[in-house]
Homo-oligomer: A and B are copies of this chain.
Amino acid sequence: MKERILNALKKSDGYISGGKLSEELNVSRTAVWKNINSLKEEGYEIISKPRIGYRLISNPDKLSEKEIIPKLETECIGKKYIYKPEIDSTNEEIKRIYSNSPEGTVVVTEYQTEGKGRLGRRWISPDGRGIYFSILLKPNIQPFESPKITQITAAAVAKTIIDLGIDAKIKWPNDIVVNGRKIAGILTEMSGELMALDYIVVGIGINIDIDSKDFNSDIIGRVGGLRENIEDLDRKELLVNLLKNFEMLYKEFIDNKNIEKSIDICRENSAVLGKKIRIIKKGKEELKKAIDIDEEGGLIVEDMNGNRETIISGEISVRGENSYI
């Protein structure tokens, strides 16, 4: 009922009377009044004028079911959409619910108390200052193919940000950077048998508003927020577009068994290709030149003697020759 009242408020141009709402939705005026109050408590600004009616002034900037589901343009990704104002980690939530949830299930939160990055690192996820969500996938693939999912996701995130007019680059394998600072990260995890994974969960964290108090002094310099790069940013629109782009690229993989489009986006917008990079593996560092990204999502690098090898995402960290990137 609350949602139907909210939709009526959104649709109406100006004030709509309590009587009209009550009639149109076939509920008592008391029910209308109660639901309006409940919406106000959720953060919706609604003006009530006696004898004139109600008017919606602003929607809360929340990624709730009510705000997002009507906007979705996807068939599979987000078809089951779960919003949690606060959670330990959206990847962990997917792991808890995977068995009863369909492919494409999305879990979104405003605040992760134990947000996860790669290799057990933390992903700092302050309340309302980012977009933190995970997608449940059930493709028929093997573990060694999971880097493809990371590249598909990196391409979708980069494309969505670039479409806003921001010069985003992909720092292979799983970070999106703007002006050399990390704007977004991706964590791909899997579960199942060696040759028959049950599911993959891909977690995405996007920094929107960065506050120096959220980060340690040693990393604050290499973390950025999207809001610095664009005046008019709508988190809801960003999420909706990202899910749409992800579905398009993921569908290519499922339908055609290739990820050419995603790899093209990753190549064209790479922060590392053509550059010397430091490759950090088990504490050891090597300086190599990044040559290409292959069709499996691996990074082809060359040492100073011209010897090439392919590194796959995993235990390796990549840094710029003289800086974070």
Contact = CB atoms under 8 A, between A and B. Distances in A.
Nearest to A96: B96
A13 interface: no
A188 interface: yes
A119 B119 CA distance: 28
A201 to B, nearest CB: 10
A272 to B, nearest CB: 19
A194 B173 CA distance: 12
Contact of A147 (B144, B146, B194): B194
A194 B95 contact: no
A248 interface: no
Contacts of A92: 99
A194 B118 CA distance: 10
A65 interface: no
A193 interface: yes
Interface residues of A, number: 28
A102 interface: no
A17 interface: no
Contact of A314 (B120, B188, B194): B194
A28 interface: no
A195 interface: yes
Contact of A196 (B147, B198, B314): B314
A313 to B, nearest CB: 7
A315 interface: yes
Interface string A132-163: 00000000001110110000000000000000
Contacts of A142: 314
A67 interface: no
A314 B193 CA distance: 7
Given A92-B99, A96-B96, A99-B92, A143 B191 contact: no
Given A96-B96, A143-B143, A144-B143, A315 B189 contact: no
A85 interface: no
Nearest to A114: B99
A187 B99 CA distance: 17
A312 interface: yes
Interface string A180-214: 00000001111111111010000000000000000
A316 B193 CA distance: 12
A312 B195 CA distance: 9
Nearest to A88: B99
A190 B192 contact: yes
Contacts of A315: 195-196
A113 to B, nearest CB: 13
Nearest to A316: B195
A118 to B, nearest CB: 7
17 contacts: A95-B191, A119-B196, A120-B196, A143-B190, A143-B194, A144-B144, A187-B193, A188-B193, A189-B191, A191-B191, A191-B192, A193-B314, A194-B312, A194-B313, A194-B314, A195-B316, A196-B315
Identify the 10 closest CB pairs spanning chains A and B, nearest first: A195-B314, A143-B143, A191-B191, A195-B315, A194-B314, A146-B194, A119-B196, A189-B193, A189-B192, A143-B194
